[in-house]
Amino acid sequence: MVDLELDEGLAVLTIDRPHARNAISLDTMGELDKALDAAEGARALVVRGAGERAFVSGGDLKELAALRTEDEAAAMARRMRGICDRIAAFPGPVVAALNGHALGGGAEVAVAADIRVAADDIRIGFNQVCLAIMPAWGGAERLAALVGRGRALMLAGTGTVLDATQAQRLGLVDQVVPRASFEESWRTLARSLATAPAGAIKQVVSGTASPDEAVAAFARLWVSDAHWAAADRVLTRGT
């Protein structure tokens, strides 16, 4: 089951499969696509798992074990990679709220986001090699962009699982917060990112906006009512 909460420009997508530690099944893929369709127009997106044990524990091995041919495996990988690509290409900032462990395919979902906020007791690892397979949902490439090619090969090639502090030290996780304040922390961050400027800033920092497009985005924001209202507040405080 995939839930979607829409709240004043913020979309929160929750993978809720407690019986399978939020593992991704073929049905889950379909629900994720529908949830992303419904989230269109939101200014920021959060992807999270339900509960405190798992963000996403990977693919649902009990179901995916039925895929026995190369064609079937390739079709599944392409489908889920497409979903991760949609998460990465979301126009506004995307936060992965790592409420629990992100392992295998779960780590691939996590790195599709722009920002990863983790509870301090979670673990994350690209440990597909333990099943004699490799990341196939775009996670290996995104991991390399985050931590460098050598570290990405070392982590994914050995299946090393990191705790939150180790992951933050390598740049795989952006913020680690105590479990007690985790929900409040990611919601506060996500709400602050659900703004028009943050969406424009994402396009610039991701390299998808040319210099002319960046200037044009700035100019649109400059003439907006929100800018002048904010400027008036600053000027009023200064008098």
**What band does 234 get if pLDDT is binned at 50, 70 and 90?**
very high
Collect all residues with Cβ–Cβ distance below 8 Å to 191 and sequence separation of at least 6. 8, 10, 44
Task: Give me the pLDDT at residue 238, please.
Answer: 64
Model confidence at 184: pLDDT above 80: yes
Residue 167's nearest CA partner among 108, 130, 124, 111 is: 124
Residue 93's nearest CA partner among 57, 39, 55 is: 39
**What band does 154 get if pLDDT is binned at 50, 70 and 90?**
very high
Task: Give me the pLDDT at residue 78, please.
Answer: 98
Model confidence at 156: pLDDT above 90: yes
Q: Where are the domains of the chain?
A: 2-192, 209-237
For residues 69 and 36, is the Cβ–Cβ distance under 8 A?
no
pTM: 0.94
Residue in the block written with tokens 């497409």: 82
Domain 2-192 has CATH 3.90.226.10: yes
Geometric angle at alpha carbon 69, from 66 and 72, rounded to 5° = 75
Residue 84's nearest CA partner among 159, 28, 153, 9 is: 28
Model confidence at 188: pLDDT above 70: yes
For residues 224 and 196, is the Cβ–Cβ distance under 8 A?
yes
Task: Give me the pLDDT at residue 80, please.
Answer: 98
Task: Give me the pLDDT at residue 237, please.
Answer: 82
Question: pLDDT per residue over 120-148, tens digit each?
Answer: 999 999 999 999 999 999 999 999 999 99
When the pLDDT of each residue in the chain is averaged and rounded to a whole number, the result is 96
Out of 64-68, 69-73, 139-143, 152-156, pick the least confident: 64-68
Collect all residues with Cβ–Cβ distance below 8 Å to 108 and sequence separation of at least 6. 84, 126, 135, 137, 138, 139, 142
Model confidence at 239: pLDDT above 70: no
Q: How far apart are CA 123 and CA 156, in angstroms?
A: 14
Question: pLDDT per residue over 33-61, tens digit each?
Answer: 999 999 999 999 999 999 999 999 999 99
